[in-house]
């Protein structure tokens, strides 16, 4: 397939791109800093573009079979609009060029229900602190992004991972259309889930949780990383 990946130079975007190329797909990796992109392959084209530039987005989307958005920004007290503005430009470009399949990333927080089996402290103190204070502006814009996706007529899937961490290989991760138990998602697993959805049409029109169960880190390590410079 011909795939375009937005946010390709983020940790998850690089995972998606590398795995897609390894599976034999043709990939257009969209990044604002193409000179810094670490991957190369005959099946890979690196496109320098900003997702906030509708013309550049349209050029990247043209001729593709599916779009994968791994846009991500660190937590901030300032208003965040990258998710909603980016997906607006992406979906308009998809409509213009007749591209139907869209897979994008938000967060398990947006399920709006507690993780099964979680402790009282995590459910009532820690997760609300992250969702309503540390990451409030990010999650607000993720919600706006999801609403834009829902209002469109594309064949969409929104993947909602938990706390992200780095791992070397894809594990035997879990996938469900409701919130799963556990607190963490490896970026390798998230990248694999995004690619699998884009290629296989497994959960069209659904919100999908992805959860890693092997080799997960401590919760304070993940919070520290994601709150101070982490990204998708």
pLDDT at residue 210 above 50? yes
Contacts of 19 (CB under 8 A, 6+ apart): 170, 191, 192, 195
pLDDT of 228 over the 60 cut? no
Q: Which of 227, 204, 82, 221 is nearest to 144 (CA)?
A: 82
Share of the chain above pLDDT 70, in %: 91
> To 5 degrees, how large is the angle CA 59–CA 230–CA 225?
165
Greater confidence, 217 or 109? 109
Question: Taking the model in full, what pTM does it have?
Answer: 0.91
**CA distances, 201 to each of 32, 51, 152, 157, 194 (Å):** 29, 24, 17, 8, 10
Q: Are 79 and 137 in contact (CB under 8 A)?
A: yes
Question: What region does 86 belong to: left with phi over 0, alpha with psi -120 to 50, or beta?
Answer: alpha
- Contact status, residue 26 vs residue 42, Cβ threshold 8 Å: no
Place 224 in a pLDDT band, splitting at 50, 70 and 90.
low
Cβ-contact 87, 33 below 8 angstroms: no
Does the domain spanning 2-227 belong to CATH 1.10.1370.30?
A: no
Percent of the chain with pLDDT over 90: 76
- Per domain, the residue ranges of the chain are 2-227
- What is the maximum alpha-carbon separation in the chain? 51
At 231 the pLDDT is: 56
| CA 200 remoteness from chain centre | 17
Tens-place pLDDT, residues 15-74: 999 999 999 999 999 999 999 999 999 999 999 999 999 999 999 999 999 999 999 988
Token pair listed for 173: 């991760």
Question: How far is residue 27's CA from residue 18's CA, in Å, rounded to a whole number?
Answer: 9
Q: Are strands 155-161 and 101-105 parallel, antiparallel or unpaired?
A: parallel
Q: Dump pLDDT digits (tens) for 77-117.
A: 899 999 999 999 999 999 999 999 999 999 999 998 878 88
Nearest to 51 by CA among 103, 1, 8: 8
Q: How confident is the model at residue 227 (pLDDT cuts 50, 70, 90)?
A: low
């Amino acid at each position: 397939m011909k795939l375009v990946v937005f946010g390709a130079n983020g940790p998850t975007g690089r995972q998606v791109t590398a795995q897609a190329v390894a599976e034999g797909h043709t990939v257009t990796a969209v990044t604002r800093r193409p000179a810094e992109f670490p991957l190369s392959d005959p099946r890979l084209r690196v496109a320098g573009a900003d997702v906030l530039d509708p013309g550049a987005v349209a050029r990247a989307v043209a001729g593709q079979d599916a779009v994968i958005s791994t846009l991500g920004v660190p937590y901030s007290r300032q208003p965040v609009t990258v998710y909603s503005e980016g997906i607006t430009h992406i979906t308009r470009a998809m409509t213009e060029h007749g591209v139907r399949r869209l897979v994008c990333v938000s967060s398990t927080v947006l399920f709006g229900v507690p993780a099964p089996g979680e402790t009282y402290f995590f459910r009532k103190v820690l997760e609300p602190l992250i969702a309503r204070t540390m990451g409030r502006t990010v999650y607000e814009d993720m919600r706006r992004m999801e609403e834009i996706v829902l209002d469109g007529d594309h064949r969409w899937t929104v993947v909602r991972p938990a706390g992200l961490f780095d791992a070397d290989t894809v594990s035997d991760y879990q996938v469900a259309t409701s919130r799963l138990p556990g607190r963490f998602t490896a970026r390798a697993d998230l990248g694999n889930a995004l690619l699998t959805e884009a290629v296989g049409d497994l959960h069209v029109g659904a919100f999908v949780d992805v959860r890693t169960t092997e080799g997960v880190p401590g919760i304070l390590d993940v919070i520290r990383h994601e709150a101070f410079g982490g990204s998708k």
